[in-house]
Amino acid sequence: MSEIHEPDAPQSTSDMAMTGRMDVSAALEGVDISETVSNIVFDLANVRVFYGDFEAVRDVTMQIGRNEITAFIGPSGCGKSTLLRSFNRMNDLIPGARVEGLLAYHGFDIYAPDVDPIEVRRRIGMVFQKPNVFPKSIYENVAYGPKVNGMKVNMDDLVEECLTRAALWDEVKDDLKKSAYALSGGQQQRLVIARCIAVKPEVILMDEPCASLDPIATAKIEDLMKELAKDYTIVIVTHNMQQAARVSERTAFFTADVDANGVRHGRLVEYGPTRRIFTAPHDPRTEDYISGRFG
């Protein structure tokens, strides 16, 4: 997988020669979709995220559609992970973090004073950059979420169902009592996905889920994402533009503005159907980024 920062990478030669643009067309799949999002799950209006006095993300307005995969791309420090973590109020855990503007989930402001973050997180699951399995058995990792949420289910069936959906069952069905630490990195990440869907969320947020995985494990996770998108709404932060092109329906490109004091603030530059963003970006900054001229 060639990174965007290497314009001389062999696979991009043909396209590069003519347009100077990275060749992601091979990875682009599916049909053209409308610029407007129907079936809105998240509706963001002028969302700003602060850490104390520092404004990490300024003024994001966008909509995220149901059963779609939405990718957030952009250079490091552009606030895309910060924004993602405000979708399920994980930013609450960082002292001094606060969100302004309207971040609505099915029309309900998730930062309204009477909203319980616990309930938000149960509906909006999260997969982290580093596979953070619990120091417990494979079975207990999956069963943990339903247990703490008091779900009355047949646990054995649920564990099997979730591991199957996460494409991990065949590899671990004889080792359910083994420590999750015995699994490889790619297996651990699929276990984390199984653990996440066990609480039956509607949305899965993924914060660079393949950053610590090799290409084969990455391919498995990407296949899994496309499979899961039939039932779940997925928002993924990625540094890998090919990955965004391969899996997502819509792509949001973020960048960082440097203000007069040299402080970087993340902002949304352009958002639209992935195919359009990669083939006909409206904003020159998007064009520069995806063609590898900066970032």
Partner 1 sequence: MTTTLDTAPDSAPVDLEGNGQPLVDKTFRWILFLCLAVGIIFLAVLLAYVTIKGWPRLTPTLWENMPSIRRPERAGAQSAITGTLWVIAFTALFALPIGFLGAVYMEEYANPASRFTRFVEINIQNLAAVPSIVYGILGLAIFARALALGQTVITAGLTLALLVLPVIIVSTREALRAVPQNIRHGSLALGATLWQTTWRQTMPAAIPGMATGTILALSRAIGEAAPLLLLGAVSFISFNPTGPFSAYTTLPIQIFNWTKESREEFQILASATIVLLLVILLAMNAVAILIRNRTQKRW
Question: Can you tell me which of 1, 26, 112, 148 binds partner 1, judged by CB under 8 A?
Answer: 148
Three-class SS of residue 9?
coil
Report the residue number, 17 or 93, with the smaller CB distance to partner 1: 93
Cα 70 to Cα 41: distance, rounded to the nearest angstrom: 12
Task: Compute CA distances 204 → 168, 197, 199, 234, 286, whole Å.
Answer: 18, 8, 11, 5, 26
User: Facing residues of 55 across strands?
Assistant: 50
Residue 48 binding partner 1, by CB under 8 A: no
Contacts to partner 1 from residues 159-188, by CB under 8 A: 179, 181
Residue 65 binding partner 1, by CB under 8 A: no
Report the residue number, 82 or 88, with the smaller CB distance to partner 1: 88
Cβ of residue 52: shortest distance to partner 1, in angstroms?
10
Residue 285 binding partner 1, by CB under 8 A: no
Cα 183 to Cα 5: distance, rounded to the nearest angstrom: 32
Longest dimension (CA), the chain: 60
Report the residue number, 21 or 122, with the smaller CB distance to partner 1: 122
Contacts to partner 1 from residues 75-104, by CB under 8 A: 88, 90, 93, 95
Residue 134 binding partner 1, by CB under 8 A: yes
- Nearest 5 degrees, angle CA 292-CA 4-CA 18? 55
Report the residue number, 10 or 95, with the smaller CB distance to partner 1: 95
Cβ of residue 212: shortest distance to partner 1, in angstroms?
12
Residue 61 binding partner 1, by CB under 8 A: no
Contact 38, 62 (CB under 8 A): no
